[in-house]
Amino acid sequence: MSKSEVRYQDVSSTELNSRAANLCKVTLVPDEAHPEDIVVQGCPQCGHETTWSEPVIVVRGIDIDVTGDLARVLLDGFRDAGSPINKRDVTVRCQCNHPHPGAPKGVMGCGRWWSLKVGWGN
Ligand SMILES: [Zn+2]
Ligand SMILES: [Zn+2]
């Protein structure tokens, strides 16, 4: 079965999570010592190129992304307080540029989503 024929399904599974742990490329931007964004690449289901990026700091309930200077100030604050942020669970959804059979109109990606445990530094 070619990867373009993966049927769209809005699902996740523990099996997909573990495949993602092996397959997905995780990058901390700008670097591991002072990460501001977590970038995850690759879809473990359809194998297409897809890039997911989310800020290290997510302010829940408020629809803003904290990046740049503000993120740096907050991260330094946590570090000074003795509780550095050095891990995150990231939920990633496939956003590849391929229409998959069965996908809702206008929706790209195979619909799969998965969780990754991302850790860095110490
Ligand atoms: Zn795909
Ligand atoms: Zn996919």
Domain residue limits, the chain: 3-119
- The backbone torsions φ and ψ at residue 12, rounded to the nearest 5 degrees and listed phi first, read -135, 165
Distance between CA atoms of 46 and 29, rounded to whole angstroms? 25
Cβ atoms 1, 18 nearer than 8 A: no
Distance between CA atoms of 107 and 102, rounded to whole angstroms? 10
pTM over 0.75: yes
Cβ atoms 114, 98 nearer than 8 A: no
Which ligand is located closest to the Cα atom of residue 108? Answer: 1
Which ligand is located closest to the Cα atom of residue 94? Answer: 2
Distance between CA atoms of 75 and 18, rounded to whole angstroms? 29
pLDDT digits (tens, 9 = 90+) for 31-85: 998 888 999 999 999 999 999 999 887 665 555 566 778 777 877 787 777 766 7
pLDDT digits (tens, 9 = 90+) for 4-26: 689 999 999 999 999 999 999 99
User: How many whole angstroms from 86 Cα to the centroid of ligand 2?
Assistant: 27
Q: What is the pLDDT of residue 122?
A: 66
